[in-house]
Amino acid sequence: MLNKQEFLEQLKADILENDICPNLRETATQLVLGDGNPNANIVFIGEAPGKAEDEQGLPFVGASGRFLNEMLEAAGLVRADVYITNIVKYRPPNNRDPLPEEKRAFWPYLMRQLEIIQPKVIITLGRHSGAVFIPDLHISKDHGHARKVKYHDSEFLVIPLYHPAAALYNGSMRQTLIDDFLAAKKLADQSIH
Ligand code: URA
């Protein structure tokens, strides 16, 4: 029986083998599957890798990642306590928004990734990743509000948050994101114990 890390490696191999989003694969340096603890109770899902992520092969390692690390620390967590990934696993050219067909192409793989990890709570970062779980999402009104989302036999608690990049240089949005983040951590603790 494979362990979770081995299942994740198998998943990565399948994405490559099935040549998902060949155009993105062509322009990206590498596939960025995810980072952190495969046994985590909390999974963070962003949109797609940026430049630093594409270079290093790890999600959220640029400016947004530093802000994410700060919030994790404020919540008493380190990256190794959680798992971090994106909907789309290749950097879109010039960091454009991921296209609907790219999100659709990666959706079954994201679901497999979640079924392997089995988190209690999913924290989406930004409207793109929020909307793949909550189709009628209005991020300005729904941020910080948890919703139960069913998928096949799994049920996840999804908490949509603003994207760190959007909040980084906007003082009031930054504070809202920090407040939502700390509240989401409390909610995660309640659903874990
Ligand atoms: N923004 C994202 O959505 N994901 C990353 O991995 C980095 C920046």
54 ligand 1 Cβ < 6 A? no
What pLDDT is attached to residue 193? Answer: 63
Q: Whose CA is nearest to atom 7 of ligand 1?
A: 60
> If you measure from the C-alpha of residue 60 to the centroid of ligand 1, how many angstroms do you get, rounded to a whole number?
5
- Collapsing DSSP to helix, strand or coil, 32 comes out as coil
Q: Which atom of ligand 1 is nearest to the CA of 129?
A: 3
What pLDDT is attached to residue 2? Answer: 85
Q: What's the burial of 78, exposed, middle or buried (CB within 10 Å: 0-12/13-18/19+)? A: exposed
What pLDDT is attached to residue 78? Answer: 94
What pLDDT is attached to residue 1? Answer: 79
| Banded model confidence at residue 127, pLDDT cuts 50, 70, 90 | very high
Distance CA 37, CA 22 (A): 28
Residues in Cβ contact with 152 at an 8 Å cutoff, skipping those fewer than 6 apart = 111
98 ligand 1 Cβ < 6 A? no
CA 40 to chain CA mean position, Å: 13
**Which residue ranges make up each domain of the chain?**
4-192
Mean pLDDT of 22-30: 98
50 ligand 1 Cβ < 6 A? yes
Lay out the sheet containing 147-151: strands in order across: 35-36, 83-86, 42-46, 121-125, 154-161, 147-151
86 ligand 1 Cβ < 6 A? yes
60 ligand 1 Cβ < 6 A? yes
35 ligand 1 Cβ < 6 A? no
Mean pLDDT of 56-65: 97
Distance CA 163, CA 121 (A): 17
DSSP structural state of residue 79: G
User: Cβ atoms within 10 A of the Cβ of 5, count?
Assistant: 12
* pLDDT tens readout for residues 104-126: 999 999 999 999 999 999 999 99
pLDDT at 9 over 90: yes
| Banded model confidence at residue 152, pLDDT cuts 50, 70, 90 | confident
What superfamily in CATH does domain 4-192 come from?
Uracil-DNA glycosylase-like domain (3.40.470.10)
* pLDDT tens readout for residues 35-54: 999 999 999 999 999 999 99
pLDDT at 192 over 80: no
